[in-house]
């Protein structure tokens, strides 16, 4: 196993506290040199954690596209090159390629923005150019507390960024609701067949998190639904008595990263406990273990459950991180700007404070690199110019959008 030396990047700090590389570029770093939280745990196979650096790494140049924004959660490029963003507090607006910030888009539903809640992910419908339809997820206030819901709406927006949502309809509700403020997920990813994968969380608290193992509960699941919110007829549990038919996979903790891979299969990265973030390729009806089988330990330092990392019938993660990166946002890179990142997964790191780049071959992680950005990364997208755009956040101080280009 290889533990490369960390390279310290000289940095400056903007008004937001966003550390940016001084001069032209940041040298991407390798895997963590920090000791694990659970040193007695062994990976199930050698490539499951702490992958080596790739043979070559790009010099990454950063520039701030927009700064001083409210705390953002997600961003998508519109076909015209503008960025549609969600703000945690329940706002949506567009940002121009030159950083011009548009006014609030009207028509959003009320969100419960306490704790980790708020307006979360946004996705454009596959036929957005003709339908103008978008989908978004949010923590919805409910009689029984709150819960993650998915809505669709038609977005009408003019050249100045003035816009409104119409035909707003909640198409899916994670149930049961729960009176808490943690682990709402979520990400929305369209399948190659234009169906929607919805990732959520298990609401974190000991009182409910075991429901990640219960197919009668919507906590801690990946769902697969059509654009009206209906379960697909070939979903894995549609014929199981008492199971929620929208479920695609179970035993997840809190998934704030998801994307399709090069061949159209779904990949997710979930927040683990203290040590134990994991990359999965969720398959129909499979159980990913939480909270009975997991890497890492409780925040208290105690084992999670029986401290078991392996069990018959439970799918192992493709890769895990101990210590954690705290993943949020994920993109498949297929652009020309970074040739060495072809087909790599780009994952935002809240705790990692930068971009995590995973290189896979045949579903095995063969290399990991890090691009330090000195800020929590909440979302990652690839722009129409093949540059990488990250949404950063500083707790209580707002967000920025930073463009990453190749200075190699
Ligand atoms: Ca999105
Ligand atoms: Ca797992």
Shortest-distance ligand to the CA of residue 289: 2
State the pLDDT at residue 8.
30
Number of the ligand closest to the Cα of 120: 1
Report residue 65's pLDDT band, with 50, 70 and 90 as the boundaries: very high
Q: What tens digit of pLDDT does each residue of 345-382 get?
A: 999 999 999 999 999 999 999 999 999 999 999 999 99
C-alpha of residue 312 to centroid of ligand 1, in Å: 34
4 assigned to some structural domain: no
The CA 195 to ligand 1 mean position distance, Å, reads: 14
173-184 confidence digits (pLDDT tens): 999 999 999 999
210 C-alpha vs ligand 2 centroid, how far in Å?
A: 13
> 154-191: string of b/e by CB count within 10 Å (b at 16+)?
bbebeeebebbbeeeeebbbbbbbbebbbbbbbbbbbb
Residue 15 forms part of a structural domain: yes
Q: How far does the centroid of ligand 2 lie from the alpha carbon of residue 117, in Å?
A: 23
- Predicted pLDDT at 397: 76
- At 265, which CATH number? 2.120.10.30
For residue 12, pLDDT over 80 is answered with no
Within a domain: 156: yes
| Å from CA of 301 to ligand 2 middle | 19
Residue 75 lies in a domain: yes
**Residue from 398, 340, 278 nearest 59 by CA:** 340
The verdict on residue 296 lying in a domain is yes
Asked, for residue 354, whether it belongs to a domain, the answer is: yes
The rounded distance, in Å, linking the Cα atoms of 134 and 125 is 5
Instruction: Judge whether residue 28 has pLDDT over 70.
Output: no
Q: Which ligand is nearest to the CA of 84?
A: 1
164 has pLDDT over 50: yes
Does a structural domain hold residue 6? no
Identify the domain containing residue 138 by its residue range.
11-406
In the reported structure, the alpha carbon of residue 51 is separated from the centroid of ligand 2 by a whole-number distance in angstroms of: 18
Residue range 105-124, pLDDT digits in tens: 999 999 999 999 999 999 99
Question: Which residue would you say has higher pLDDT here, 405 or 16?
Answer: 405
Q: Token digits for 84?
A: 């549609």
Answer whether residue 165 shows pLDDT above 80.
yes
Q: What is the mean pLDDT of residues 386-400?
A: 92
Secondary structure of residue 231 in the 3-state scheme = strand
The single residue of 183, 252, 271, 359 carrying the catalytic annotation is 183
Q: Are 220 and 211 in contact (CB under 8 A)?
A: yes
Whether the predicted pLDDT of 27 surpasses 60: no
Total structural domains within the chain: 1
Could you confirm whether 183 is annotated as catalytic? yes
302-311 pLDDT tens trace: 999 999 999 9
- Is the CB of residue 218 less than 8 Å from the CB of residue 181? no
Ligand that lies nearest to the alpha carbon of residue 48, given by its number in the listed order: 2
Lowest-confidence pick of 84-98, 295-309, 316-330, 391-405: 391-405
Confirm whether 5 is domain-assigned: no
pLDDT score of 5: 30
């Amino acid at each position: 196993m290889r533990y490369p030396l960390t390279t310290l990047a000289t940095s400056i700090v903007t008004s937001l506290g966003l550390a940016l590389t001084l001069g032209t570029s940041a040298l991407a770093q390798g895997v963590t040199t920090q000791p694990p939280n659970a040193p007695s745990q062994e990976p199930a196979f050698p490539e499951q954690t702490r992958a080596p650096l790739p043979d070559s790494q790009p010099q990454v140049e950063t520039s701030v596209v927009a700064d001083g924004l409210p705390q953002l959660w997600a961003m998508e490029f519109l076909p015209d090159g503008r960025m549609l963003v969600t703000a945690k507090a329940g706002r949506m607006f567009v940002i121009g390629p030159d950083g011009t910030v548009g006014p609030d888009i009207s028509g959003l539903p009320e969100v419960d923005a306490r704790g980790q809640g708020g307006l979360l992910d946004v996705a454009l419908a596959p036929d957005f150019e003709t339908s103008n339809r978008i989908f978004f997820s949010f923590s919805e206030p409910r009689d029984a507390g709150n819960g993650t819901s998915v809505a669709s709406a038609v977005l009408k927006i003019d050249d100045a960024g003035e816009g409104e949502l119409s035909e707003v309809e909640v198409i899916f509700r994670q149930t049961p609701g729960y009176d808490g403020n943690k682990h709402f997920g979520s990400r929305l990813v369209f399948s190659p067949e234009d169906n929607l994968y919805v990732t959520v969380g298990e609401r974190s608290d000991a009182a409910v998190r075991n429901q990640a193992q219960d197919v009668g509960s919507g906590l801690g699941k990946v769902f697969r639904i059509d654009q009206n919110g209906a379960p697909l007829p070939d979903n894995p549990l549609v014929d199981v008595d008492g199971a929620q038919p929208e479920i695609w996979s179970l035993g997840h903790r809190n998934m704030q990263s998801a994307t399709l891979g090069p061949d159209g299969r779904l990949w997710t990265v979930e927040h683990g406990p203290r040590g134990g973030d994991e990359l999965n390729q969720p398959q129909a009806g499979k159980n990913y273990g939480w909270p009975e089988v997991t890497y890492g330990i409780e925040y208290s330092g105690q084992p999670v459950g029986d401290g078991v990392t392996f069990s018959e019938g439970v799918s192992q993660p493709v890769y895990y991180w101990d210590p954690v990166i705290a993943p949020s946002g994920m993109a498949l890179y297929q652009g020309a700007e970074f040739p060495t990142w072809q087909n790599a997964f780009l994952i935002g790191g809240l705790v990692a404070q930068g971009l995590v780049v995973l290189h896979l071959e045949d579903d095995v992680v063969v290399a990991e690199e890090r691009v330090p950005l000195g800020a929590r990364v909440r979302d990652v997208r690839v722009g129409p110019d093949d540059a990488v755009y990250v949404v950063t956040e500083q707790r209580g101080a707002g967000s920025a959008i930073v463009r990453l280009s190749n200075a190699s």
